[in-house]
Amino acid sequence: QTVVTQEPSLTVSPGGTVTLTCASSTGAVTSAYYPNWFQQKPGQAPRALIYSTNNKHSWTPARFSGSLLGGKAALTLSGVQPEDEAEYYCLLYCGGAQGWVFGGGTKLTVL
């Protein structure tokens, strides 16, 4: 079973920039993994941010962007706001046999 790995925690200052990454235990993440990113705040359902590597939903703030970086999927937040403090999850498609696999999540602190 593929393991998807994210940084457990990151801290960023308001107005700063931070990049979260998402790695696959089977090798480099490519667009064929259809990388997705979700934001979850305490007590709330997750909210979709990015699909298919770098596509934003209509509700996704412009400061969020997705990419592939060094064999990983990446989520970059530019001009971080206090309300961006949350848990962020990536989701990869790992083929027909395994389906969708979530990463363990990154707790982002804005401090």
- Contacts with another protein, residue ranges (CB under 8 A): 1, 34, 36, 38, 40, 45-48, 51-52, 57, 89, 91, 93, 96-105
Residue 90: CB atoms within 10 A of its CB come to 30
- Rounded to a whole number of angstroms, the minimum distance from the CB of residue 25 to another protein is 15
Radius of gyration of the chain (CA): 13
- Which ranges constitute the DSSP H helices of 17-106? none
| Minimum CB distance to another protein smaller for 1 or for 82 | 1
What is the closest distance, in whole angstroms, from the C-beta atom of residue 14 to another protein in the complex? 26
The whole-angstrom separation of Cα 41 and Cα 34 is 23
Give the shortest CB-12-to-another protein separation in angstroms: 21
Q: Which is nearer to another protein, 51 or 65 (CB)?
A: 51
Tokens of 77: 């937040």
The amino acid at 42: P
Shortest distance in whole angstroms from residue 34 CB to another protein: 5
